[in-house]
Amino acid sequence: MTAKASIPELKTLDVHRLSDEIYLEMYRRMVLIRKFEEAVYDLYSRGIMSGLAHLYTGMEAIAVGVCMALDASDNITSTHRGHGHLLAKGGDPRRMFAELLGKESGYNRGKGGSMHIVDMSLGILGANGIVAGGLGIATGAGLSAKINREGRVSVAFFGDGALNEGLFYEVSNMASLWKLPVVYVLENNQYGEYTSYKRSTAGTGLARAEAMGIPTRKVDGNDVLDVYQAACWGVNLARSGEGPSFIECQTYRWRGHHMGDQGDTYGYRTQEEIEYWRKLCPINRHREYILQKKVASTGTLEKIENEVQSQIDQAIEFAKDASYPDPSEVFQDVYA
């Protein structure tokens, strides 16, 4: 799969011999994302949340598999479908919900909303409302890390739609030329908005990255361990000065493109297709793995689920109780 045969592999990493804590933490984070998104669905459906919301449901293994391979000081950029990445990198659900409701205690003081959440202290350089918008930022953060010899890695999450934006080629070319520590994570969920990958993308994503001389891997994006292994490979390349890598994760979004895309409104995919992918649920799959491997009992997993549910419930209460920003806030922070 790799374009360069000489790239060092992580010989010692066996994803079937990780510690129990890691398996359970993966499970916890995926459940957190799932429950968070279902709560967003509910808040939106009941008219409590306004604006736009693009749910990550069904894609949890990618954000978690990648972010579990990162250090706290590593940077990520995210997309319009960003809640999962933020939670996987350690984002606080209370401040996220508060942001989604436009409250002052939200991450962005209510000025960004769902598509723009930032937490500089966690290396979350932002979700982004422009397709491919985060790719320049992630690559630039990689440039910083390289100049300062910091050993930090940047991860750019992006969807298959971004593959057809010019920015990807401009920045990945420079990342490859200058060996910047960037991992490009393509989340191929089969649709850019309402148009399928097949109808919009000539050739393959992998070939496009390989054309830049960037080593690639293609993984099952619904298998958190497969994603984790590839992410460790990419992060290791970046940290050891070998430059960028590109990981394509095959996945599917269960919900529509956004909350306005419900049921058959736009008629671009079949119920059979959705059902097929729902059966490939990344959380069920990891749950089965944990049980089969006897990492933990059903009871332990249920305990995690309950803990996460109560975390989500408390976070929503926090957000509902929070105040809206003061009107004077509208003119704050236009300039530094």
The site for other proteins (CB under 8 A) is made up of 75, 77, 106-112, 116, 118-120, 125-126, 128-130, 133, 135-145, 147-148, 154, 166-167, 170-171, 173-174, 177, 332-336
CA dihedral 287, 288, 291, 294 (to 10 degrees): -110
Nearer to other proteins, 119 or 160 (CB): 119
Shortest distance (Å) from residue 111 CB to other proteins: 5
Nearer to other proteins, 57 or 77 (CB): 77
Nearer to other proteins, 92 or 170 (CB): 170
| DSSP bridge partners of 156 | 77, 184
Nearer to other proteins, 174 or 295 (CB): 174
By CB neighbour count within 10 A (0-12 exposed, 13-18 middle, 19+ buried), where does 310 fall? exposed
Measured CA to CA, the distance from residue 63 to residue 253 in angstroms comes to: 13
Shortest distance (Å) from residue 329 CB to other proteins: 9
Shortest distance (Å) from residue 177 CB to other proteins: 7
Shortest distance (Å) from residue 319 CB to other proteins: 15
Shortest distance (Å) from residue 129 CB to other proteins: 8
Instruction: Identify residue 326 by its one-letter amino acid code.
Output: D
Measured CA to CA, the distance from residue 35 to residue 138 in angstroms comes to: 28
Nearer to other proteins, 64 or 137 (CB): 137
Nearer to other proteins, 130 or 304 (CB): 130
Look at phi and psi of residue 285 and say left if phi exceeds 0, alpha if psi is from -120 to 50, else beta: alpha
Nearer to other proteins, 59 or 141 (CB): 141
All residues at 6 or more sequence positions from 292 whose CB lies less than 8 Å from its CB, including other chains: none
Shortest distance (Å) from residue 120 CB to other proteins: 5
Nearer to other proteins, 66 or 143 (CB): 143
Instruction: Identify residue 66 by its one-letter amino acid code.
Output: V
Beta carbons of 298 and 306 less than 8 angstroms apart: no
By CB neighbour count within 10 A (0-12 exposed, 13-18 middle, 19+ buried), where does 5 fall? exposed
How many residues are present in the chain?
336
Q: Which of 22, 92, 122 is nearest to 314 (CA)?
A: 92
Q: How distant, in Å, are the alpha carbons of 60, 63, 109, 241, 269 from that of 100?
A: 19, 20, 10, 38, 28
Shortest distance (Å) from residue 108 CB to other proteins: 4
Shortest distance (Å) from residue 135 CB to other proteins: 7
Beta carbons of 138 and 154 less than 8 angstroms apart: yes
